[in-house]
Structures are given as structure tokens and as C-alpha cells.
Amino acid sequence: MVRRPRADILRPRCLDDLRSPVEEELNRWLGTEDEIEPALAKAMRYSVFSGGKRVRPVLALLACRVVSGHFEAALPAACAVEMIHTYSLIHDDLPCMDDDDMRRGKPTTHRVFGEAVAVLAGDALQALAFEILSDRRSGYTPEQGLRMVNELAWACGSTGMVGGQVLDIGGEVGEPELLDRLHAMKTGALFQASMRLGAIAGGGDAASVKALTEYGKEFGLAFQIADDVLDVVGDPEKTGRYAGSDVQGGRSTYPLLVGMTQSHAMAREAVERGLRALGLFNGRTGDLQELMEYVIRREG
């Protein structure tokens, strides 16, 4: 049996320090059982508060901080990205996709609430993300809000996450370049959006947004290679999922295509490129550096 992941002692402090503000903000935006259909409210809250690492929202806050010094402005945008991430996990676990019973060491949303409510909870989280970005209470100017809506839609729709998922279910991928493209769309686009939305919330200029986008791209690649490696060598107690599930599911992975040694080398190269992109900021990037290094040494 897979149990809940144990605390990860290698985790950078920013993931713990920024967790509370992110979770308070998530809680503020999620409807309660008095406000929306109780079954939907329960399923949405269960999925959002089931123990995610909050990497994407923390990236958005750090991007904001690096361009402006204050992370609070990015809290609504950070939550919008986490809503999209949570929706994607709910749908990804469904029987028609990966058919997973466990996520983060707990039963998946459809196992607890049934398939129909799980699909609808994912749909509602997706809509909520765009509601947050366009809500006056978020404090964004109409120009900022519109730009964020556009950026997030691009990252999570047919040009990004959903398009990448379609490539993924399309069968085996034979070349590493195609695998790079698949993951750039499926997981990388949302990491890039985290960085871009955070930078936009902080009023970053074009050069800053470009550099942080580059960081997000390399972060996504390193994250995905590490994820594939963890699928082979990870401890299910720490990853919260069954070992070897990618390979058993017929998925192409980096270790399968290029071997373990080359996978480690490719992840390291992505990390180095991502760190170089931070050069523009002359310091103030300690947390982003730490998070980038964590991506390839995390255990879950």
C-alpha cells in the first residue's frame, strides 16, 4: 500500500515559508458548502488541500518578489495557477486518462466523490482560475488581468497543457526531442506561466519577464526529467504513488529513451541554463536558485 509522503528534509525553506499565505489565499477563493453545491465544494477543497507541494504558486510569488520586492501582489495569480494544476491532476487520474487510485498518498478525487463530480470539480477549478484573474478583488489593473488571462489560457489549453496531454496519450514517443516538446507543453507551459504571471503581477519589465520565462522553461524540463527518474528509483512512501507507473502505463520517459546517466546529465544541464537566466537580477535570487537545485534532488 502507498502511504502519505514523509516530510522531505531536502525541501527549500521558501516552500514552507510561503505555504501558509498561499493556502490562506486558496481558502479565500474556494467556495464553501454554504455558497456552492456542497458536493462540489467538498470535492474542490479535497483536491486543492490534499498535500501538494505548491511549487507553482511559490514560483509565481518568487518571480514577483524578484521584480518588485513584495510577493503579496502575486498571491491571486499564484492561486489561479494552482487551481489549474489541481484540475489537471483530477482529470489526469480519471479512468479515461491514467486511471489512478492514489495521488499524494491519498485516494484520488474520483475514488472519493465519483467520476462525474470529479470531472465537474476539475471544470469548476479551471473556471475559478480565470475568475480570480479577472476579479477586482485581486487588485490587478484591467491590462494586467487581461494579459494574465491570455497567458494562462495559452499555457493550459490546446497550445500548452491539454495539447501536451493529447500528445502523451497518443502513444510512444521515439525521440528525446519529441519528448522535450511534449513535456514543454504538458508541464513546462504551466511553470512558465507561473513565472510570467508572477512577474506581471509585480510590474516586471519585458527583459525581466523574458529571463523569468527562460528560468520557467528550464525548471519545467528539469522537473519532468526528475519526475521520470523518480518513477524508476523513487521510494513510493515519499513520492506518494506506485513505483514504475509511467513505464507500466506504456509512457515514454527520459530513462527509457536515453538511459539513467544521460537523464541525470540532461537535468543538470537544464538546471545550469535556468540558473544562468537569473543573471539579469544581480542577487535577490537565492530562493529561485535553491528551488531550481531542489527540483533534481527532491524525493517526492
The CB-side HSE value for 86 (13 A sphere, CA atoms) comes to 33
Residue 60 interacting with ligand GRG (CB under 6 A): no
Q: For residue 196, count other CB atoms closer than 10 A to its CB.
A: 26
Which residue of 53, 111, 181, 264 would you call a contact of ligand GRG, by CB under 6 A?
53
Give the chain's end-to-end CA distance (angstroms, integer).
16
Distance CA 143, CA 254 (A): 40
Residue 26 interacting with ligand GRG (CB under 6 A): no
Q: How far is the CB of 1 from ligand GRG (least distance, A)?
A: 19
Residue whose CB is less far from ligand GRG, 89 or 173: 89
Residue 110 interacting with ligand GRG (CB under 6 A): no
Identify which range of 18-26, 49-57, 62-70, 284-292 contacts ligand GRG by CB under 6 A. 49-57
Most distant CA pair in the chain: distance in Å?
A: 53
Residue 153 interacting with ligand GRG (CB under 6 A): no
Given its phi and psi angles, is residue 250 left (phi above 0), alpha (psi -120 to 50 degrees) or beta?
left
Q: How far is the CB of 87 from ligand GRG (least distance, A)?
A: 7
**Element containing residue 102 per DSSP (H, E):** strand 102-103
Residue whose CB is less far from ligand GRG, 3 or 284: 3
Contact letters (x/-) for ligand GRG, 184-203, by CB under 6 A? --xx----------------
Residues 235-264 that bind ligand GRG (CB under 6 A): none
Residue whose CB is less far from ligand GRG, 25 or 92: 92
Residue 165 interacting with ligand GRG (CB under 6 A): yes
Residue 91 interacting with ligand GRG (CB under 6 A): yes
Residue 106 interacting with ligand GRG (CB under 6 A): no
Residue 231 interacting with ligand GRG (CB under 6 A): no
Identify which range of 15-23, 69-77, 158-166, 259-267 contacts ligand GRG by CB under 6 A. 158-166
Distance CA 164, CA 53 (A): 22
Which residue of 47, 78, 80, 88 would you call a contact of ligand GRG, by CB under 6 A?
88
Q: How far is the CB of 145 from ligand GRG (least distance, A)?
A: 23
Q: How far is the CB of 35 from ligand GRG (least distance, A)?
A: 25
Q: How far is the CB of 199 from ligand GRG (least distance, A)?
A: 20
Distance CA 231, CA 118 (A): 25
Helix, strand or coil, per DSSP, at residue 103: strand
Distance CA 264, CA 134 (A): 41
* Residue 173 main-chain phi, psi, to 5 deg: -110, 125
Query: What's the 3-state SS for 162-215?
Result: HHHHHHHHCCCCCCHHHHHHHHHHHHHHHHHHHHHHHHHHCCCCHHHHHHHHHH
Residue whose CB is less far from ligand GRG, 145 or 240: 240
Distances (CA, A) of 297 to 9, 234, 251, 300: 11, 11, 22, 9
**Residues of the shown chain interacting with ligand GRG in the complex, contacts defined by CB under 6 A:** 52-53, 55, 88-89, 91-92, 97, 104, 161-162, 165, 186-187, 227
